[in-house]
Chains A and B, each alone.
Chain A
């Protein structure tokens, strides 16, 4: 194939598919009880310098319990997949855990405005953007990895600076003769996903949109599932069509109810706009970032303590009513921070 153009972004988390097959070869195939605490999971599976990706989307179904634990354990020099990374990347970058990011979407909180903390680190050079992508391009990188392929052809990025700053290549398609963009596979070192339920082996069900978790789970070298609840293995076998992630892809299972707070867990609880607003307000300054982390991350031992601190059962019940549309969202500060 004739190469027409090459992006100048850094190629990361890419392996020759045969290399990846060797990794897969040593993974266990049997059912094992993988339950552990989030503290154990982060300490065992996250290493300094790892390439990390989070399941979910923006503020939806993100494993925040894992994010807080990564910060608490002071992991360093992580590279983040900025695949619609919003609150997760903002707080990981602000806390000094992440110093490199590939960006499809980052540094923003959608309607809530831009992220003061992570923008500041990029504008001052403390965190480096190493490549740019679009959302489709990034998730197709996971699809290529999940398929055991070196790349996948797409019709996005063409003609733009987003391509120039990516690590994609444009070639002449041998079938149509037209230019087509090849996005390289992305095999993250470690991925965290928050799900509605799974069994002790990691067979996981997700309610609502799956976003790109089907592909990402299959692209990950190590996958940690945090879950709202653990259910009987027999329940999985009764409705096997509901399994989005089969157990053998999973390295650890951590049961953490409300583990996505302050994010939205579809059908269970809505965004905690008060808490997100507090972060956006505090993170305008370095001191504010420290104050937030001291209070909500370093200052608590367990996720239950954190939940108490953010408003306890009263707040959680309110978020449940919001999700079920039994309460109107009142959050006048949304948009005030907007550009």
Chain B
């Protein structure tokens, strides 16, 4: 075990960054995804193509942007384009990874960011899809970053804003969504999850240091598939932490 001290937010950023492969493309949203993509680009994936929904394509992001459309998202970019352009790229299959956040998720990776309680009379009104439905529909592999507890990992989401595997194997294709797309990983403060090949249900991939399988189970309403061998997430390195704080020097995201 490393002696390096880190927060769960820092750990999540590192895990997300490590998933992104060099020479691939990623559709990036506000907050933690931006940090993860920037960290990946400054470590193992210098040739990562970063794309923002408002039109920023291939920027050299200087500091953490506050919005997915602010001027930092097309700083020294190869193209300052349009949403139509970026969404066309997503729909034609150019975007390998996409990041999403979620207020609620179910075992098939269906996501709610629209409403808590009934849609007609919301208990809490959330911002809605934004680009999430587009990312979840069109990117090849979707990575979800969220907090995990039994109110968020739910049996049924109040409202499907963004499609996961819908009702199970084959359901996305049957609905008309592009073949071979769907949720790839879920990263929470407790662990990392993948989706089972056969059932398309969420399956534990690794637990973060200090987290037990019981913690994982206790913080989900639905049954998470637990394989016989579960690895432990590799903690952030000193180098990763240093870069993270260069990206977000005032802790806009990392401080949360």
Contacts and interface: CB of A to CB of B under 8 A. Distances in A.
A174 interface: no
Interface string B116-159: 00010111111111111110011000000000000000000001
A132 B114 contact: yes
Given A103-B128, A180-B176, A161 B82 contact: no
Given A209-B56, A267-B71, A335-B255, A160 B130 contact: no
Residue among B53, B71, B131, B172 with the highest chain A CB neighbour number at 10 A: B71
Contacts of B53: 135
Given A111-B66, A136-B134, A214-B82, A338 B256 contact: yes
A60 B128 CA distance: 19
B163 interface: yes
A82 B125 CA distance: 14
Contacts of B84: 139-140, 143, 212, 214-215
Contacts of A133: 128-129
Contacts of B62: 325
Interface in A324-339: 325, 328-332, 334-335, 338-339
A200 to B, nearest CB: 26
Contacts of A107: 125-128
A310 interface: no
Contacts, number: 218
Contacts of B162: 160, 162
B127 A105 contact: yes
B67 interface: yes
Interface in B223-256: 249-250, 252-253, 255-256
A258 interface: no
A264 B87 contact: no
Contacts of A160: 110, 133, 160-163
Given A84-B69, A136-B83, A158 B177 contact: yes
B181 to A, nearest CB: 10
B129 A266 contact: no
Size category of the binding interface on chain B: 35 or more
Contacts of A139: 83-84, 87
Contacts of B19: none
A332 B67 contact: no
Interface in B14-41: 30-31
Interface residues of A, number: 72
Interface string A134-155: 1111011001000000000011
Interface string B58-71: 00001100111111
Contacts of B45: none
B178 interface: yes
Contacts of B74: 208-209, 266
A155 B137 contact: yes
Nearest to A5: B175
A282 interface: no
A161 B156 CA distance: 13
A178 interface: yes
A259 B122 CA distance: 35
A60 B69 contact: yes
Contacts of B103: 339
Interface string A68-92: 0000000000000010100000000
A209 B137 contact: no
A111 B72 CA distance: 14
Contacts of A214: 82, 84
A221 interface: no
Interface in A46-66: 56-60
Contacts of B175: 158-159, 179
A147 to B, nearest CB: 11
A29 B194 CA distance: 58
B113 to A, nearest CB: 9
Contacts of B80: 208-210
A210 B62 CA distance: 21
A323 interface: yes
Interface stretch (A118-126, A187-195, A224-232, A296-304): A118-126
B171 interface: yes
A106 interface: yes
Given A137-B133, A159-B175, A212-B84, A123 B123 contact: yes
Contacts of A173: 176
Contacts of A184: none
A112 interface: yes
B55 A135 contact: no
Given A114-B127, A160-B133, A179-B175, 8 more contacts: A59-B70, A134-B134, A135-B87, A155-B137, A158-B177, A160-B160, A161-B159, A212-B84
Which 4 A-B pairs have CB atoms at the shortest separation, nearest pair first? A179-B176, A209-B55, A108-B127, A159-B175
Interface of A: 56-60, 82, 84, 103-108, 110-112, 114, 119, 122-123, 125, 129, 132-137, 139-140, 143, 154-162, 165, 170, 173, 178-181, 208-215, 264, 266-267, 270-271, 273, 323, 325, 328-332, 334-335, 338-339
25 contacts: A57-B54, A57-B69, A58-B68, A59-B70, A110-B31, A111-B30, A111-B31, A122-B122, A123-B123, A123-B124, A123-B125, A134-B130, A135-B53, A136-B90, A143-B84, A155-B138, A156-B91, A157-B133, A160-B162, A161-B114, A209-B81, A211-B83, A212-B82, A325-B63, A328-B250
